Amino acid sequence: MPHGFPKSLDISGPLVLASHNLNKIAAMKEAFAGYPVELLSARQLNLQSPDETGATVLENALIKARSVARQSGHTAISDDSGFFISALDDLPGAAAVDWAGPDGDHTPALKRIGDMLSERGLTTSAARYVTVIAAALPNGTAIAEEGATHGHLVWPPRGKTDGYLSVFADTPGAKTISELMKGQDTGATHDLPVYAHRRPTIDRLVRRLHFS
C-alpha cells in the first residue's frame, strides 16, 4: 500500500460495512467473527452509496469507506475490485464494472477486450483480479490492504459470460473459471476462485484495527 497511511486505526463504537450487497456483508461479518466489535452496514443504516469516481481500485475503496464513515459518524470498512490485463496496459482495471452494459451485461466489455487484442495481434496475456480493503475514521484517516489473484486471459471466451469469468484461467491452456464453475451459483462473489485473495486481505486489515 502507498506511503502516508498510518500503521493502524483505533476503533471505538460500531464498525459500519460500506456496502448494500448482501453477499459482501455476509463475507465481512464472517471475517469479523470473534472480534469485540458491533457490525452495522450501509444497507442497514440506509446510507447513500457515493459515486465511485476514483481512477484506481484503492481510490474507490477509500471513497466508499470515507463517505460511509462521514455519514454514519463511525469507522467504516469497504472494498473495491478490478480486473487487470497486463498486455492491454492493465485495462479495464478499476473500470471493470463500467465497461459492462446495462444490467451488468459484460458482452460489450468482452467485445472491447477482443477488439483491443486483435489490434495488437494477441490471444492471451497475464491478468489478475485485484481487491483493496479500506477502513476509514469519520475524520478521513484511513488504512488499506491490497490482494490479488494472478492468472491469464483466455481468448476467445469459454463458458457462460458472467463478468470476466469466461476469459480468466490459472494458465493459458486451463479451463476458464466459467467452465470450472458450470452449473454452480456465481452470485456469492467472495466464494469465487478469482477472489481467493479476498479473505486474507481482509484478515491483514483486521489485524491493523485496534478495538476498544
Position 33 scores a pLDDT of: 86
For the stretch 101-135, pLDDT in tens is: 888 889 999 999 999 999 999 999 999 999 999 99
Position 186 scores a pLDDT of: 59
The angle subtended at Cα 76 by Cα 71 and Cα 78, nearest 5°, is 115
Active-site residue (options: 80, 89, 103, 185): 80
Judge whether 102 lies within some domain.
Answer: yes
Judge whether 2 lies within some domain.
Answer: no
Judge whether 4 lies within some domain.
Answer: no
Judge whether 184 lies within some domain.
Answer: yes
Asked if residues 31 and 203 have their Cβ atoms less than 8 Å apart, the reply is yes
pLDDT band for 185, please (50, 70, 90 cuts).
Answer: low
For the stretch 51-100, pLDDT in tens is: 999 999 999 999 999 999 999 999 999 999 999 999 999 999 999 999 99
**How many domains would you assign to the chain?**
1
Phi, psi (rounded to 5 degrees) for 109: -65, -40
Judge whether 70 lies within some domain.
Answer: yes
Judge whether 198 lies within some domain.
Answer: yes
- Across the range 201-208, mean pLDDT stands at 93
Domain of residue 33, residue span: 9-211
Position 121 scores a pLDDT of: 96
Q: Indicate whether this model's pTM tops 0.85.
A: yes
In percent, how much of the chain has pLDDT > 90? 71
Judge whether 71 lies within some domain.
Answer: yes
Position 129 scores a pLDDT of: 96
Judge whether 1 lies within some domain.
Answer: no
**105 among known catalytic residues:** no
Which CATH number do you get for residue 164? 3.90.950.10
